[in-house]
Amino acid sequence: GRDYLAAKKEADAFDSLSKLAADYAEEKAPADLTESAGETTDQEKAAEWAELLKEAAGYAALKNENPDYVGWIRIPDTRIDYPVVDRESDPEYYLHRAFDGSKSFGGTPFLGEASGVDTKCLIIYGHNMKNLSMFGSLKKYKTEDFYKDHQFFTIYTSECAYRYQIFAYYDVPETDEVYTVGFAPDDTFQKFIDKMKQKSYDDTGVNVTKDDHIMTLSTCSTTGKRFVVHAVRIGEHALEK
C-alpha cells in the first residue's frame, strides 16, 4: 500500500545518490589512488584503502547536490548505506526530510547539535524503521554473534575516508549522559568512555582512550529509550586535492 510505495520511493532516491557518487568516482578519481593510499607495505591493505579513497572521491561530489551533505556512512551486511547531513542552524531539519529537502517519513541520517563543536565525540541520528532501512539495521547488534563479523564500518567525507571499529552497544534513556558532547582529551572523557564499555551488552575487548575519536550511532528503541552503537576511529586516509 501507501507505506510500501513511500518506502520504495525513499530507497530509490538513496540508490540514485549512491549511483551518482559511483559514476563520479569512475570519471574523476585519480588513476594513482593506490600510491596515495598510505605508507603501507601491505599490498592488500593498500588496495583496500585505494578503493575506499576512490569511493570517497565519488561521495564528495554529493556536496554539489546539497550543501548540507557532510559524509556517507556504510556498514557491511546492513541497509546502512546513506548520506549524512548537517544543518547547524536547525539540527533536526532532516528528521523527516529526504536528502533533497522534500518530506520523507524516514528522513536522512544527520549529525546532532554538537556538529559545530570541535569535539572528539560526534553523534549521528537515524530512524529505527521496521523495514530495517535508515538505522533500523542497528538492532542486529542485539542478536548473538552479529558483532563478531560486523565490527567495522566506513565514513566518507569530502576530505577523508575514515575506518571505525565498534566497541560498545546498548539501550539508554532518551536523556542519558551518552548524549553529552564537547569533550577535551582529559580524564573526564576517559571516564565517559569507560562507562560506555561497562554498559555494553558485550565486552568487545577493544581498547579506547581519551585521545581517540568516537562516533556514536543513535536510533529509537523501546518507548522512552534509544539504542546506541559506539565506534572508535582506527584509520583515516586523506583524499588527494
Residue range 5-27, pLDDT digits in tens: 666 777 777 777 777 666 655 66
- Can you give the pLDDT at residue 183? 78
Q: What is the pLDDT of residues 145-189, one digit of tens each?
A: 999 999 999 999 888 889 999 999 999 999 999 888 777 788 999
- Can you give the pLDDT at residue 159? 83
Higher pLDDT, 50 or 202: 202
Give the three cell numbers for residue 214.
Answer: 568516537
Count of positions (residues) in the chain: 241
Count of Cβ atoms closer than 10 Å to residue 63 Cβ: 14
- Can you give the pLDDT at residue 34? 41
pTM of the model: 0.83
Higher pLDDT, 2 or 212: 212
218 close to 18: Cβ distance less than 8 angstroms: no
Q: Minimum mean pLDDT among 80-84, 130-134, 202-206, 209-213: which range?
A: 130-134
| CA–CA distances in Å: residue 63 to residues 17, 50, 60, 68, 200 | 11, 21, 6, 7, 35
Radius of gyration of the chain (CA): 18
Q: Secondary structure of the chain in the HEC alphabet?
A: CHHHHHHHHHHHHHHHHHHHHHHHHHHHCCCCCCCCCCCCCCHHHHHHHHHHHHHHHHHHHHHHCCCCEEEEEECCCCCCEEEEECCCCCCCCCCCECCCCCECCCCCCEECHHHHCCCCEEEEECCECCCCCECHHHHHHHCCCCHHHCCEEEEECCCEEEEEEEEEEEEEECCCHHHCCCCCCCHHHHHHHHHHHHHCCCCCCCCCCCCCCEEEEEEECCCCEEEEEEEEEEEEEECCC
CA distance 230 to 115: 17
